[in-house]
Structure 1
């Protein structure tokens, strides 16, 4: 497998969906806690990217194995295994190596922090693998938006904050007499959740847009996603609403002084994002309008990261 085929197999261009929440959590840790641990930062980045690439490769491999429709844009051109005639053994070997790298880096990170990182990491690994693997993968149910939004949007942000402040008692786990006790500072965790909400909504919308574009193909391949259950019209309304909720969230967080006043600059992205929403309403295809959901996600969340970063200067 050459580099070009590998990058296509893991869909390297989609890794912004995990790196952006990671950057958001990192800059928020600096803003709210004035703390940064570079070794932990690098370990989580390595584990995160390796696992994200592994899950994408698993998803493409399972699509290849289970596809009933073996022609069309989403299969011949989009799936690297078909496009580059990759052997199944090389794909499986690639997945195993990526999972080993992710697991090793994640375990070292746990040793440097505490058991909460291990537990959340294990849960994230399980969801990531079950997303595409198993008798009924999450991606073939109407739950993909919820799981991807929560785990990639919130859990990544929370962990990328926690690895820098694990010693400040914002959350911990104890074990005694066969009982696990989980303690966390509700206010701090809620703040992290709401600053991550644009990432949660943006990632959910990437999945939603993907599923809207694939309704016909998914029906043929027996993937019963959310748009199939609620219908295209309601799915499009949900697509729009999730962006609007994100803007309301930013305004409320500025009013509550959770985010700096500069975060209101994020509102400037409303015009281009609203334009993209209207374009997606007109036509929904993987080739022409699906990328708008990725652009919207990046615009809103990169703007939030930059404004929080600027808030560090004040």
Structure 2
């Protein structure tokens, strides 16, 4: 039997504090939306002059969809009894700060509404096919924790997150600038697909024991903690190796080798899970995983820009 969600809320005195609302967006995850837009736009520089109106519209829409997805996560984790006052992590605005669940849900749908308006602007200046792709991405964001069979409860969370919040955002960002999708843009987006998925895997490694109690079947649970850590390390290795293979095949500029500067964060993330048993002890490793994606993607974009200039 699923435990009942807590109904006795703490005083909402902190709910008006801007920090509480900022934390509700889970800001450490927002780089997963920012980096793909930056990278997709950087990829387009070689083919066209950048339309900054479309760039900022795409960036804002991606950030809003990511923030809304986090709020849906907050709401449904509460409704299913996963969040308590003792839960580890940045979530818990409902159980710890007294924000009403309905407020969180309505705010998430409100952010979706704004992103749809931004999507209209993007479609009016590019293609209406973007609308269909955008709506599919929003549906995945909602059904990640919502609906009768949330994606988060299955072994496919990393794949959905990596594809829709990594590769697809890169390709849309590239398309709205260049008017096409190239094989190079697809190949360069692959490591970000992996690293965005790695962020979710790191989260699931931290929450493995608790998720198991609530009947989730995440990839981390199926592989076991040791297997999941090995997979995380493998994902990092493949991401870096992929870039150097593309360089060796003369598909991308050697300047993109600059991504190696982010490797210490990947090493820290992997080592940070080894030998740790408590969720709080694994928080630094989770943070390092997200930072790896951010720095890796930013350095890829810098490498593309340098290759374009030089």
Q: Which residue of 1 aligns with 2:275?
A: 282
Q: Which residue of 1 aligns with 2:149?
A: 136
Q: Which residue of 1 aligns with 2:30?
A: 15
**Alignment of 1:93 onto 2:106:** yes
Q: Residues 84 and 95 of structure 2 are in contact (CA less than 8 Å); yes or no, is this contact kept in structure 1?
A: no
Given the alignment, which residue of 229, 249, 270 partners 1:236? 229
Q: Which residue of 2 aligns with 1:303?
A: 299
TM-score, normalised on structure 1?
0.87
In the TM superposition, structure 1's runs of 4+ consecutive aligned residues that sit over 6 Å from their partners are none
- Partners in 2 of 1:68 and 1:124 — Cα distance? 25
Q: Which residue of 1 aligns with 2:62?
A: 48
**Alignment of 1:215 onto 2:229:** no
Residue by residue over 1:213-257, the C-alpha shift from the partner in whole angstroms, topping out at 9 and shown as x without a partner, is 111111122222111112222211110111111111111111233
Q: Which runs of 5+ in 2 are unaligned?
A: 1-14
| SS in structure 1 of the partner of residue 285 of structure 2 | coil
**Alignment of 1:67 onto 2:81:** yes
Residue 24 of structure 1 and its aligned partner are, at CA, apart by: 0.7
Residue 268 of structure 1 and its aligned partner are, at CA, apart by: 3.5
Q: Residues 69 and 220 of structure 1 are in contact (CA less than 8 Å); yes or no, is this contact kept in structure 2?
A: no
Aligned pair in 2 of structure 1 residues 109, 53: CA closer, same or farther (>3 Å)?
A: same
Aligned pair in 2 of structure 1 residues 37, 65: CA closer, same or farther (>3 Å)?
A: same
Aligned pair in 2 of structure 1 residues 118, 274: CA closer, same or farther (>3 Å)?
A: same
| SS in structure 2 of the partner of residue 34 of structure 1 | coil
Aligned pair in 2 of structure 1 residues 46, 271: CA closer, same or farther (>3 Å)?
A: closer
Aligned pair in 2 of structure 1 residues 211, 272: CA closer, same or farther (>3 Å)?
A: closer
- Partners in 1 of 2:245 and 2:141 — Cα distance? 32
Residue 205 of structure 1 and its aligned partner are, at CA, apart by: 0.7
- Partners in 2 of 1:98 and 1:274 — Cα distance? 35
TM-score, normalised on structure 2?
0.88
- Partners in 1 of 2:85 and 2:74 — Cα distance? 15
Q: Which moved more, 1:251-260 or 1:123-132?
A: 251-260
**Alignment of 1:35 onto 2:28:** no
Residue 312 of structure 1 and its aligned partner are, at CA, apart by: 2.2
Residue 69 of structure 1 and its aligned partner are, at CA, apart by: 6.3
Residue 40 of structure 1 and its aligned partner are, at CA, apart by: 1.3
Residue 198 of structure 1 and its aligned partner are, at CA, apart by: 2.1
Given the alignment, which residue of 21, 26, 30 partners 1:6? 21
Q: Residues 9 and 81 of structure 1 are in contact (CA less than 8 Å); yes or no, is this contact kept in structure 2?
A: no
Residue 287 of structure 1 and its aligned partner are, at CA, apart by: 2.8
- Partners in 2 of 1:11 and 1:138 — Cα distance? 19
- Partners in 1 of 2:19 and 2:85 — Cα distance? 22
Residue 110 of structure 1 and its aligned partner are, at CA, apart by: 1.2
Q: Which moved more, 1:240-249 or 1:37-46?
A: 37-46
- Partners in 1 of 2:145 and 2:172 — Cα distance? 23
- Count matched residues: 292
